[in-house]
Amino acid sequence: MVFISPTKGKMRFDEMVADIVRYIKGLPLSAYKIIIGSDSQVVQGEMQFVTAVIIHRLGKGARYFYRKRAHRKIKSLRQRIFFETSLSLEVGALVTQALNTVGLEEHKLEIHIDVGNHGETRDLIREVVGMVVGSGFSARIKPDAYGASTVADKHTK
């Protein structure tokens, strides 16, 4: 699994986790949020799915990494949102496991879902939020889902 850091370039998953751990241990008394969000876009007839991992040092900046994945075009908005959410949950589970092994289990993850109360996705909120909460994570939707709607969205194009 390869992620891209805008400042450091391509990184394997374990390298990304090591960078996150160094970032947290650099200022261990600071408060942190770890956010995972996915978004998608049709590019030249195929879907580009991007999953972003954001480590936010509250009040002091953030870093992020993203993973791009091409997939056949998904016509159903419902299937697309569920696929985006499942990609976020997959990465969220891996990041949680990796942080737990290095003693950083107190850092809980948020999954940002690209759905909101306005527009076509409002009917999906209950289902995808339930999917995330049922997996043990807290869920955020638009307008608070900047991990999906801003960071991941930036790299889908």
Dihedrals phi, psi of 107, to nearest 5 degrees: -85, 105
**Ramachandran assignment for 119, one of left (phi > 0), alpha (psi -120 to 50 degrees), beta (any other):** left
CB count in 10 Å sphere of residue 65? 26
Q: What is the pLDDT of residues 74-110, one digit of tens each?
A: 889 999 999 999 999 999 999 999 999 999 989 889 9
Q: Quick one: DSSP state of residue 122?
A: G
Domain boundaries along the sequence of the chain: 2-154
pLDDT, residue 55, reads 97
Of the chain, the end-to-end C-alpha distance in Å amounts to 20
**pLDDT higher than threshold 90 for residue 145:** yes
CB 132 within 8 A of CB 96: no
Q: What is the pLDDT of residues 56-67, one digit of tens each?
A: 999 999 999 999
Nearest Cα residue to 95 out of 57, 53, 150? 53
Query: Rounded to an integer, what distance in angstroms lies between the CA atom of residue 24 and that of residue 4?
Result: 19
Whole-model pTM: value is 0.94
pLDDT, residue 133, reads 97
Distance of CA 46 to the CA centre of its chain: 21
Instruction: Give burial (CB, 10 Å; 0-12/13-18/19+) of 54.
Output: buried
H helix intervals, the chain: 13-26, 77-101, 125-134, 146, 153-154
